Amino acid sequence: MTESHAAHRRQIIESARTLVVKVGTNALSKPDDTLDVAKIANLTEQLHHVLQTGRQVVLVSSGAIGSGLGILGLKKRPDDLPHLQAAAAIGQAHLIRQYDDCLRKFGYHAAQLLLTANDFKQRHRYLNVRNTLHTLFEYGTLPIVNENDTVSVDEIRFGDNDRLAALVTNLLDKPPLLVILSVIDGLYDGDPRLPTSRLIPLIEHFDDALFQFASLDKSSRGTGGMQTKLEAARIATAVGRPVIIANGNDPQILDRILAGEPVGTLFLPQGPAVSARERWIGYNVPPRGKYILDEGAARAIVQKGRSLLAIGIKSIHGSFDKGQIVSLVDLQGRELGRGLTNYSSVDTARIAGKRTDEFTQVFGNIPYAEVIHRDNLVVTVSPSKARM
């Protein structure tokens, strides 16, 4: 790493006023799948060091199911949902108690937040989560976030805690740094088990080509791997948040990160920080459908900052209601942005390709001049990448 890169890293660390630390199941478990209390004690001591600098901390912790497996004496992770949820219910209580016991030694309390994807999809629940976190900061507690595995099903699952950590990072206002603690040193340019592979210390420009370096194999106890960590880095860096993937088995990893040491892989922000509302619209909620745009509409949105008009819509995919989030896609299938639609999929189909003054022939009036107003639209691709 060059001196300029090292200086950039130190600047990012110094400017981060909030750390979101995600730790996976493997980094918390013994080889027999039981919870490693010594690792939790070490992690909480490092978090204490972070808090002593005046920063805020949110811990996104896996380990509930793994903890439950150890308590129940199960030799392998169950394959069916009811047994997984039972293991999570048993293990979560044990996990949070261990964190609270360790934190009390430093004068803190653990605060548990169990979330599902619906807490991020619905605007009022999203704001409630953010308000709760800010209030917990006021009380000097350490929020510990996990997916609510005891009730989550496919429709409301995050899929992995890496993505959950990125979404938590995106809802915070004070400049946050997301630190994802894995069981390897970071992103390698090949199989990390091979001596020819080298750690990539810095990612200046996030590109889909990075995924070729990620193994598709999931971790032995968790639900993710490097693939999900890269997805999390994409989500966070897209809205101006830096990300570090590092080795959670290093007993001083957070101390070393705070000291600006060149550990792990640092992903630089891919653009300026955006508002909380824009983060929610553009990156937190899966779109309910798509508007396929002609070249003129695509250019107006990406390069000129315009609203979406019906005349620029070529086709509509999916079924959705007014006020839901829709993806805006060009004729080549590339997503350009996302926005809150003023019209349902049924009503949009009636006006697609029409001028605004023709709406009266369909509705008898003009409910909205724009299908998506610029204030409710977030461009998710840079003008240079759009190649228009």
pLDDT in tens, 238-260: 888 999 999 999 999 999 999 99
Segment 339-342 long-range contacts (CB within 8 Å, at least 24 positions apart) = 339/281, 339/308, 339/372, 339/373, 339/376, 339/377, 339/378, 340/281, 340/372, 340/376, 340/377, 341/291, 341/371, 341/372, 342/367, 342/368, 342/370, 342/371, 342/372, 342/373
Residues of the chain predicted below pLDDT 70: 1, 33, 149-159, 215-224, 382-388
Check: CB of residue 344 under 8 Å from CB of residue 320.
yes
Q: What is the pLDDT of residue 218?
A: 47
Q: How far apart are CA 183 and CA 327, in angstroms?
A: 35
Taking CA atoms, 13 is separated from 61, 169, 178, 241, in Å, by 22, 15, 11, 12
Say how far apart CA 188 and CA 20 lie, in whole Å.
Answer: 23
Structure tokens at 192: 């990390």
Give the model's pLDDT for residue 159.
59
pLDDT for res 341: 96
The upper half-sphere exposure of residue 53, i.e. CA atoms within 13 Å in the direction of its Cβ, equals 18
| SS3 state at 174 | coil
Q: What is the pLDDT of residue 330?
A: 96
Cβ atoms < 10 Å from Cβ of 6: 15
Burial code (b: 16+ CB inside 10 Å, e: under 16) for 152-169 equals beeeebbebbbbbbbbbb
> What per-residue confidence (pLDDT) applies to 225?
82
Q: Measured between alpha carbons, how far is 115 from 75 in angstroms, rounded to an integer?
A: 28
Going by C-alpha positions, the residue among 317, 326, 310, 331 that lies closest to residue 387 is 331
Which of the 8 DSSP states describes residue 283?
A: I
pLDDT in tens, 77-93: 788 888 888 888 888 88
Question: Which pLDDT does position 158 carry in this prediction?
Answer: 56
Q: What type of residue is 218?
A: K
Residue 277: predicted pLDDT? 85
pLDDT at 378: 92
List of domains in the chain: 3-278 (3.40.1160.10), 287-386 (2.30.130.10)
pTM of structure = 0.83
Q: How far apart are the first and last CA of the chain?
A: 35
CA distance 116 to 310: 34
Cα–Cα distance, 189 to 124 (Å, whole number): 42
Distance CA 267, CA 242 (A): 6
